[in-house]
Amino acid sequence: MAVENPPPLTPLATAAPQRGNRATFSLLVDAFVTWLIAAVLQFKALGQNVWHNATEAYGSALAAAMSQGAASASASAAGAAAGDAHDRADAAAASASAAGLSATAAAGSAGAALANATSIAQMGASVLAHAALAGLPTLAGQRLKGVRVNADESGLEMAEFVTAVKAYEDRADLRAIAGGLVATRYLVRRLGLFEWQAGSVEPDDDATSFRTVGGAWIMIAADPDFAAECWLSELPLRLRFNMTLTSIAGNAAVDITVPAPGVAVGDLVAVIPVVALPVGLSVSGVVSAPGTVSVRLSNSFTSTSIALTPGYWGLQVTKQ
């Protein structure tokens, strides 16, 4: 085996974290620790290289000494080889010394990082101690609006909202419930979500507000059924249906049933053909049952049929 060159050491790509620079400490410490882990393995390889080269140097010197008595020329060559081996041994020793210095520096930086973390923890404890001495109020365990500080002041947690449920038929019960004693909020089915507001003078309308002692239960979110009843009832319902008839015999009438969810008996219906109606043809529409519209096409001629153009006709239903 021959003498081997020392393996290289990977330099630190970023600056080492310093205790005096808190702004960059947390950003640099991860990269430094990653480098340190890899450097330890490189230090080990460097130490093995030093041992190998020293062993080689010793072997070369021993071989030279044993060959010295054989011939002066061989002795001279052995002396030269021993000198070269000695130089390489010195170089290996220097590399080992450098590795030791690097390891010492790494250990020092790690110690500084630990000391800095300890200093930060001590500073936090000092702040809490001074706050206690100053009599500052603590938020530990106290409820805020929607959040709560943990009892050990280690973080925040969501404060629960207690919601009770009432049937629509029992909505009047809210007037007898003092706000917040049983629940924070009440969900009234088919009406909406209510929250008690102390001191509210909102009029009691049996829908969006229920007055009680010291305040009122106020609707903060409407149920879809209630929203439909309040707003959609004021808007006309528009839809289309496929009119497939091509003719109607004389003195005949044909009814077409059209599904129309949401319509009620008594609502007004307007039928809108896609083309002008032929002479003698009349068209009418009526809500025959909840959710159903009946469209009637009538031929007023006694014996003459009327040709029709199939297509999608329109319907407009106005709620009453």
Residue 223 CB contacts under 8 Å (≥ 6 apart), including other chains: 188, 189, 190, 191, 192
Provide the domain limits for residue 219. 163-229
> What's the angle, vertex CA 12, arms to CA 7 and CA 42, rounded to 5?
30
Residue 149 inside a domain? The answer is no
Tokens of 85: 């081996």
Residue 147 inside a domain? The answer is no
Last residue of a domain, one of 204, 229, 254: 229
Looking at the fold, whether 42 and 129 belong to one and the same domain comes out as yes
237 pLDDT above the threshold of 60: yes
Beta bridge mates, 299: 281
Last residue of a domain, one of 114, 133, 152: 133
- pTM of the entire predicted model: 0.33
65 pLDDT above the threshold of 70: no
Q: Total structural domains in the chain?
A: 3
Rounded Cα distance between 57 and 53, Å, is 6
Looking at the fold, whether 72 and 129 belong to one and the same domain comes out as yes
Looking at the fold, whether 34 and 118 belong to one and the same domain comes out as yes
Rounded Cα distance between 222 and 190, Å, is 8
Last residue of a domain, one of 112, 133, 154: 133
Residue 146 inside a domain? The answer is no
Looking at the fold, whether 117 and 32 belong to one and the same domain comes out as yes
Rounded Cα distance between 315 and 295, Å, is 9
Q: For 152-171, write each residue's pLDDT tens digit.
A: 555 555 545 567 899 999 99
Looking at the fold, whether 26 and 129 belong to one and the same domain comes out as yes
Residue 210 inside a domain? The answer is yes
- CA-based nearest residue to 158, from 144, 148, 145, 171: 148
Residue 10 CB contacts under 8 Å (≥ 6 apart), including other chains: 35, 38, 39, 42
Q: For 26-47, write each residue's pLDDT tens digit.
A: 677 677 778 778 777 877 777 7
